[in-house]
């Protein structure tokens, strides 16, 4: 009897298009899901809805004028993008950045990392259905945006880190604001722990879902918290220290099973480590100028460089080719979101449709960066 029924009721695979206008795709991403009932058979991310041709735009502007465009790649952590771009141009033009500027860059990059992880926590919360959990990290991120607004006059597109240093020195008010923020951060994180980390439903959704093993992570070329959640200890701030990162003591949080839960916990822990770095950098801030002597017309010598920086999402790399003129001949950007997003299929296969949303969220892609 049962055999007869199973012959009659046959499930058939079907396609479901998630996005590009879907609240949990973090922007304009389309995911083509092949489903068998509620099980995911295949998930294909379709990108390009936010393509603006930034690499091409940069080729038609001089090195200084490229700055506002790097802000618009990963707009949630624009400081880190500017940082990577400036380091690449500095290496190309053989510029030496003053130590004070290096420290200020580290402070800003780490603050931006915290802000970015707050967005991650907030959007993860809303994606698993805990709308309340979203409000708190977004509220606290506002403190960091206020600091940046005071510092450089913008909340998202900073253009603060400049070729050769930073735009302006830290004012007393900004230093005070950072200190107040650091003092409150611990209580903020405790609050997220109370709201989310301890929540049983939240744990059930995240634990043992979308597992990526260390080997798979390396094969896919994942970087950042995605890679470290799988237990691979790779952090450019430690392994290829730049901009005085070797002066600071901090740990690199690692996961062990590579599931959604680990990716969440790694980012949670990273926030405390970033705060530790900011504190050390503020305490040991060297005196001096914040800008190197940069020629008004910058013509880096012919050649090419590839420089990497640890952004909140992974390795941000800039490959710039100079032909000796004021404009870059070619800019290629290694965007961590794009490469991390390739793990989506692996993370979704065999899981339920509801898990796709969570997997997508723990990848934490920024579509501005994915599409460039």
Partner 1 sequence: MQGKGLLTGLSVTIRHFFGKKVTVQYPEEKLPMSETFRGGKLVLDQKKCIGCRLCSMACPNEALDLTVETDENKKRHMKKYIHKSGRCLYCGFCVEACPTKAVTWDKNYAIACYTRTDLTYDAVKSDGRNETHE
Quote the least distance from Cβ 150 to partner 1, whole Å.
Answer: 5
User: Is 55 a residue that touches partner 1 (CB under 8 A)?
Assistant: no
Quote the least distance from Cβ 358 to partner 1, whole Å.
Answer: 18
Among 11, 179, 203, 208, binds partner 1 (CB under 8 A): 203
Query: Any idea what DSSP says for residue 194?
Result: I
Single out the residue of 122, 166, 157, 168 nearest to residue 271, CA to CA: 122
For helices 99-127 and 131-152, angle between their N-to-C axes, nearest 10 degrees? 160
Stretch that binds partner 1, among 104-112, 114-122, 144-152, 340-348 (CB under 8 A): 144-152
Of 71 and 371, nearer to partner 1 (C-beta) is 71
User: Is 201 a residue that touches partner 1 (CB under 8 A)?
Assistant: yes
8 Å CB contact between 297 and 326: yes
User: Is 264 a residue that touches partner 1 (CB under 8 A)?
Assistant: no
**Own/partner pairs, 211-215, CB within 8 angstroms, 24+ separation:** 211/257, 211/258, 211/259, 212/258, 212/259, 212/343, 212/346, 212/347, 213/258, 214/258
Stretch that binds partner 1, among 73-81, 94-102, 152-160, 244-252 (CB under 8 A): 152-160
Residue with tokens 């991310």: 45
Of 130 and 305, nearer to partner 1 (C-beta) is 130
Phi, psi for 165 (deg, rounded to 5): 165, -135
User: Is 30 a residue that touches partner 1 (CB under 8 A)?
Assistant: no
Stretch that binds partner 1, among 11-19, 145-153, 212-220, 283-291 (CB under 8 A): 145-153
**Which residue spans within the chain are E strands per DSSP?**
14-18, 30-36, 39-46, 161-162, 165-166, 303-311, 314-322, 328-334
Quote the least distance from Cβ 191 to partner 1, whole Å.
Answer: 6
Among 176, 194, 215, 239, binds partner 1 (CB under 8 A): 194
Of 197 and 240, nearer to partner 1 (C-beta) is 197
Quote the least distance from Cβ 57 to partner 1, whole Å.
Answer: 9
8 Å CB contact between 118 and 257: no
Query: Any idea what DSSP says for residue 300?
Result: P
Q: Which residues contact partner 1 by CB under 8 A?
A: 61, 64-69, 132-133, 136, 139, 149-154, 157, 159, 168, 191, 194-203
């Amino acid at each position: 009897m049962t055999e007869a029924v199973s012959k009659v009721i046959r499930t058939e695979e079907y396609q479901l298009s998630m996005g590009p206008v879907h609240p949990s795709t973090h922007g304009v991403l389309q995911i083509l899901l092949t489903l068998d009932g509620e099980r995911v058979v295949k998930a294909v991310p379709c990108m390009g809805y936010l393509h603006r041709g930034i690499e091409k735009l940069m080729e038609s502007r001089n090195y200084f004028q490229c700055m506002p465009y790097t802000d618009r790649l990963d707009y949630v952590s624009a400081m880190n993008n500017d940082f990577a771009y400036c380091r690449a141009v500095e290496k190309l033009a053989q510029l030496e950045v003053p130590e004070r500027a290096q420290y200020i860059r580290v402070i800003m990059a780490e603050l931006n990392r915290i802000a970015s992880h707050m967005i991650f926590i907030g959007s993860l919360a809303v994606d698993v259905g805990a709308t309340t959990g979203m409000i708190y990290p977004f509220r606290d991120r506002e403190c960091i945006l206020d600091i940046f607004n005071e510092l450089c006059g913008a909340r998202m597109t900073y253009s603060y880190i400049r070729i050769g240093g930073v735009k302006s020195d830290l004012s007393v008010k900004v230093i005070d604001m950072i200190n107040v923020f650091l003092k409150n951060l611990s209580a903020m994180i405790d609050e997220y722990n109370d709201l989310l980390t301890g929540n049983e439903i939240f744990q059930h959704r995240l634990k043992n879902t979308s597992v990526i093993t260390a080997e798979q992570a390396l094969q896919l070329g994942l970087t950042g918290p995605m890679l470290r959640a799988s237990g691979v200890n790779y952090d450019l701030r430690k392994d290829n220290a730049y901009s005085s990162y070797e002066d600071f003591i901090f740990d690199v949080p690692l996961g062990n099973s590579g599931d959604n839960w680990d990716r969440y916990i790694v980012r949670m822990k990273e926030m405390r480590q970033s705060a530790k770095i900011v504190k050390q950098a503020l305490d040991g801030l060297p005196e001096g100028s914040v800008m190197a002597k940069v020629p008004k017309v910058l013509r880096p010598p012919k050649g090419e460089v590839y420089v990497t920086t640890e952004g909140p999402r992974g390795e941000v790399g800039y490959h710039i080719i100079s032909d000796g003129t004021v404009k870059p001949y070619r800019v290629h950007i290694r965007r961590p979101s794009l490469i991390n997003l390739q793990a989506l299929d692996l993370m979704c296969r065999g899981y339920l449709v509801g898990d796709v949303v969570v997997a997508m969220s723990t990848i934490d892609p920024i579509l501005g960066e994915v599409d460039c």
